[in-house]
Amino acid sequence: MNIQDVPFGTMDWSSVPTTEHPGTTGKALWRTLEIGNIRVRMVEYTPGYLADHWCKRGHVLLVLEGELETELSDGRKFLLKTGMSYQVANDVNPHRSSTSTGAKLFIVD
């Protein structure tokens, strides 16, 4: 990741408006900061959430609360629990997320 045009800053995430993104089931609630060439998000998935698409975008993702299952397009599945993370580059291993219990994530892409 080559972060450009991003000055030092702090963020009170409770002050960032939430946008709702429906999944195939459940929904994702995003708080998003776009600055320079990066997008930083605090994301909450409701219990029973299943993404409605295969994502090809690169991310660094950290599970803050709950459990997240990430499925790769080749069929592999990974269960991430609180404190676990993953990283993937753009256009490598298309993936989608789901959670039976709900999850809160911090994502940089």
* CATH number, residue 35: 2.60.120.10
Structural domain that includes position 102: 18-108
Cβ 43 vs Cβ 34: under 8 Å: no
Residue 2 counted as domain residue = no
Q: pTM of the full predicted structure? A: 0.93
How many structural domains compose the chain?
1
Q: What are phi and psi of 55, to 5 degrees?
A: -95, 135
Would 6 be classed as within a structural domain? Answer: no
Q: What pLDDT, on a 0 to 100 scale, did the predictor assign at position 28?
A: 98
Series of mean pLDDT values for 10-residue runs along the chain (109 residues): 89 97 98 95 98 95 98 97 97 96 97
Residue 65 forms part of a structural domain: yes
pLDDT score of 5: 92
Predicted confidence at residue 109, as pLDDT, reads 94
What integer pLDDT is reported at residue 2 of this predicted model?
A: 82
**Structure-token match 């753009």, residue found:** 90
What pLDDT sits at residue 1? Answer: 72
